[in-house]
Amino acid sequence: MAGNLKQRLDSLSSKALLLTERYASLSERHREALQRINDLQATLERKEKEMALMRQQIEELRVVSVLAPNHADVEHTRKFLAELVRDIDKCISELSE
């Protein structure tokens, strides 16, 4: 009887030790998972801030591109002004005669 009780006690003791080891392992994995979640949340916040900044830059570039003339517009305006100057010179020369 004492031997049987000793065996049960040893079995319970080994099971308790195994349970304690498993708990410690799971507890460590849980802590690591929480740390990973915190890291990912921080990364997500940084990326969201970067995206907001890039959206703002895109909007600013859109505004600038609307305001800034392109090369074709500049050439067209120069030709138009050159024609106007020629017409004015013709008018002046005709008035001078």
Q: Residue 66 and residue 71: Cα distance in Å, rounded?
A: 13
The continuous run of DSSP H or E covering 59 comes out as helix 2-67
pTM greater than the 0.85 cutoff: no
Residue 68 CA: distances (Å) to CA of 3, 59, 63, 80: 95, 14, 9, 19
Q: Would you call 20 helix, strand, or coil by DSSP?
A: helix
Note the pLDDT tens digit of each residue in 11-67.
Answer: 999 999 999 999 999 999 999 999 999 999 999 999 999 999 999 999 998 888 777
The secondary structure element, H or E, covering residue 26 is helix 2-67
pLDDT at residue 1 in the model:
65
